[in-house]
């Protein structure tokens, strides 16, 4: 992997990649939903009446691979649902970058985000506004699909995570316009929000049908494990997308820049420092999973069925991390030449 001409070793990943056998079926229908939502079309910067991607650029992102690699145990129906959510999250990201980050239009970004809040309602059956663009249309459609009875308990937390996700985009833009690089101490919690990492446990539960048992869910060890789980995916993304974000989008919200600025070190030192930090979060995840979690399970007195459910969830989480690692290291989205030059 190369970050702005600085060679670094690959990110550490102790778990093998497992691929969902439904990938070929998912690939065949990959663009169906995106096209129905108005996300695919011709050239030009995304707007209320313009699509976000060309078909070629959409397929180059390989969102079908991302979904099948991160959720190897999901049924086709669950895989399809998470695939649509992944498409929506990337649609928001690319729309926001082209419409607001490239133009620096902070007031318009705030207005767009405030309106989007109305589509992120935690109440079942909440009346949503009439969508005016592909991003709004996509999330309005998903609100009726993401929370079947077995996942109804996720409705409030999931929508809250998405509110934080879109709000973080505005904060990132404000940072970039003001030339303010976030401080290292505040960055990891912020990155969980700006990556929508708080939705990842939902995806694992969707795919595996397993939950972290209630008796241990709020324990210090499980909270630390979830933080490490979320930190790896968000911070690793900063290394994979450094060229795209910093050199093309002129974004200051990136771990490499954060470390360089906070520690006062040059790029050739900041890149391996970022790699070490990301790998340390994977080591933390592994240590918590293997060493600290078993005593917590013992003290909580989990029965055999509860322990099996926990193991199923953990296996799904490991698969999620290995899949996202594979996507980061192989997806054309993170090649420098993949960044579009949107023009009016």
Q: Are 175 and 115 in contact (CB under 8 A)?
A: no
Greatest Cα-to-Cα distance within the chain, rounded to the nearest angstrom: 62
Q: What is the pLDDT of residues 262-318, one digit of tens each?
A: 999 998 899 999 999 999 999 999 999 999 999 999 999 999 999 999 999 999 999
Question: How many other C-beta atoms are found inside a 10 Å radius of the C-beta of residue 179?
Answer: 8
Question: How many other C-beta atoms are found inside a 10 Å radius of the C-beta of residue 111?
Answer: 12
Residue 114 has pLDDT above 90, yes or no: yes
Which has more confidence, 247 or 154? 154
pTM: 0.92
Q: Which domains does the chain have, with CATH numbers?
A: 2-338 (1.10.600.10)
Q: What is the pLDDT of residues 187-215, one digit of tens each?
A: 999 999 999 999 999 999 999 999 999 99
Q: What is the pLDDT of residues 325-343, one digit of tens each?
A: 999 988 777 665 443 322 2
pLDDT of residue 45: 54
Report which secondary-structure segment, H or E, holds 7.
strand 6-7
Residue 44 has pLDDT above 70, yes or no: no
Q: Are 254 and 246 in contact (CB under 8 A)?
A: yes
Q: What is the pLDDT of residues 227-271, one digit of tens each?
A: 999 999 999 999 988 888 888 778 999 999 999 999 999 988 999
Q: Are 340 and 57 in contact (CB under 8 A)?
A: yes
pLDDT of residue 42: 61
Give the mean pLDDT of the chain: 91
pLDDT of residue 2: 55
């Amino acid at each position: 992997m190369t970050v702005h001409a600085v060679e670094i070793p690959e990110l550490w990943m102790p778990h093998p990649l497992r691929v969902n056998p439904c990938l070929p079926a998912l690939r065949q229908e990959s663009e169906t939903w995106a096209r129905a939502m108005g996300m695919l079309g011709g050239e030009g910067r995304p707007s209320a009446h313009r699509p976000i991607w060309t078909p070629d650029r959409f397929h180059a992102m390989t969102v079908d691979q991302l979904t099948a690699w991160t959720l190897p145990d999901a049924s086709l129906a669950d895989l399809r649902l998470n695939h649509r959510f992944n498409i929506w999250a990337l649609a928001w990201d690319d729309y926001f970058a082209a419409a607001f980050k490239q133009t620096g239009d902070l007031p318009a970004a705030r207005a767009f985000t405030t309106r989007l809040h109305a589509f992120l309602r935690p109440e079942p059956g909440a009346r949503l506004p009439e969508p005016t663009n592909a991003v709004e249309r996509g999330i309005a459609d998903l609100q009726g699909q993401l929370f079947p009875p077995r996942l109804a308990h996720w409705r409030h937390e999931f929508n809250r995570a998405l509110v934080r996700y879109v709000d973080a985009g505005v904060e990132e833009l404000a940072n970039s316009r003001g030339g303010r690089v976030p401080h290292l101490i505040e960055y990891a919690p912020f990155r969980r929000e700006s990556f929508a990492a708080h939705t990842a446990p939902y995806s694992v539960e969707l795919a595996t049908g397993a939950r972290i048992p209630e008796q241990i869910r709020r324990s210090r060890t499980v909270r630390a494990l979830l933080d490490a789980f979320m930190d790896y995916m968000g911070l690793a993304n900063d290394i994979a997308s450094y060229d795209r974000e910093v050199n093309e989008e002129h974004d200051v919200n990136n771990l490499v820049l954060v470390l360089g600025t906070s520690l006062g070190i040059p790029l050739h030192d900041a890149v391996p420092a970022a790699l070490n930090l990301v790998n340390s979060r994977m080591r933390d995840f592994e240590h918590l999973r293997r060493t600290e979690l078993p005593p917590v399970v013992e003290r909580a007195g989990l029965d055999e069925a509860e322990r099996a459910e926990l193991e199923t969830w953990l296996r799904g989480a490991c698969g999620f991390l290995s899949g996202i690692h594979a996507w980061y290291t192989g997806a054309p989205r993170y090649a420098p030449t993949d960044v579009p030059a949107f023009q009016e």
